[in-house]
Amino acid sequence: MNGARRRARDYDTALTAYLAAYDEWIAGALDEMPTEPETPRIGVVVLGDPVYCQACTYDTKAKLSRLDGMSCIYAREADGMRGASSEARVSGSSDKASLSPTVEDLDELDGWLRDWKAVYLGADSISRQGGLTDSLTLGCAWLVARVERIMARPSIAADFGREVNAWHARLARFDFADVVVHRKPLRCPSCQGLTLEWREGDDKITCRMRDCGRILLITEYDALVEEAVKPARRPARSGTLVAS
């Protein structure tokens, strides 16, 4: 309804200006009668029930259900190499350096899930069940099953929906559902199959065959392309016929 709200606000502003100008015209301060603004076409108004409409409720539920998968993919960043903190620890500091900002983010997500479970149940807090990834899965599944009831509570629906959207936006780069995969024309240098793929946003090209799994940097693949086109660029020898 954002478009409809914007048109309604613009119309209210224009109508206020028109009424003020009309009063001035009646008083003789203006020579010409102002033109009344056109009533905007709002279309079908979709009301919240009670805060979000049905479509927004389903959208929130879908985004919440994706958080588990995105967090599991994100967890691969905490392998001791990727996701490691680049901040140097100050000598003499009593604070321990963070080994993985990734783990900190996922721990924050897990705490957020457990906090909302506590809000729904009217409890002070909910303790973690199992390891971090298990707790994330349980927390997402528990809330997904109760989204409609949470969204039906005017006291918490707005905050819940806003925070789900915020977490989804934060982890969206780990959601491969909308990632476009391009098949590359060169054969894999390892298995010789036409199996090389590039996912938009990645800095590497991979072979989709499980028993191969060759990984090439984009620069390496470009070098292979350059080698492949070199024979076509060689000039024909003198006295030979070249097909047009």
pLDDT digits (tens, 9 = 90+) for 209-224: 878 888 888 888 988 8
Residues near 129 by beta carbon (within 8 Å), at least 6 away in sequence:
135, 138
In a domain? residue 116: yes
> Does pLDDT of 173 surpass 80?
no
Average pLDDT over all residues of the chain: 81
| Statement to judge: residues 170 and 192 lie in one domain | no
Give the total number of structural domains in the chain. Answer: 3
Q: Please tell me whether residues 213 and 105 are part of one structural domain.
A: no
Over residues 100-156, the pLDDT tens digits come to: 788 899 999 999 999 999 999 999 989 998 888 899 999 999 999 999 999 999 999
| Single residue among 176, 192, 225 that ends a domain in this structure | 176
Please indicate, yes or no, whether residues 114 and 188 belong to a single structural domain of this protein.
Answer: no
Residues 218 and 165 in one domain: no
In a domain, residue 243? The reply is: no
Name which residue leads in pLDDT, 84 or 66.
Answer: 66
Same domain assignment for residues 130 and 61? yes
Residue 94 lies in a domain: no
Same domain, 23 and 117: no
Rounded to the nearest 5 degrees, what angle is found at the Cα of 75, between the Cα atoms of 69 and 79? Answer: 150
Cβ burial, residue 16 (10 Å; 0-12/13-18/19+) = exposed
212 assigned to some structural domain: yes
Q: Are residues 130 and 165 in the same domain?
A: yes
pLDDT value of position 91: 41
**Which tens digit of pLDDT belongs to each residue from 200-210?**
767 789 898 87
Provide the residue type at 173 as one letter. R
Residue linked to tokens 């391009």: 182
Same domain, 106 and 170: yes
Same domain, 186 and 111: no
Does position 84 have pLDDT exceeding 90, yes or no?
no
pLDDT for 9-66, tens place per residue?
999 999 999 999 999 999 988 889 999 999 888 777 677 878 888 888 999 999 999 9
- Please check whether residue 238 lies inside any domain of the structure: no
Q: Are residues 154 and 62 in the same domain?
A: yes
Picking from 176, 204, 225, the residue at the C-terminal end of a domain is: 176
Domain for residue 218, yes or no? yes
> CA 243 to CA 27: how far, in whole Å?
88
Q: pTM for this structure?
A: 0.55
One domain for residues 72 and 142: yes
**Above 60 in pLDDT, residue 93?**
no
Domain-located, residue 244: no
Domain containing residue 112: 54-78+100-176
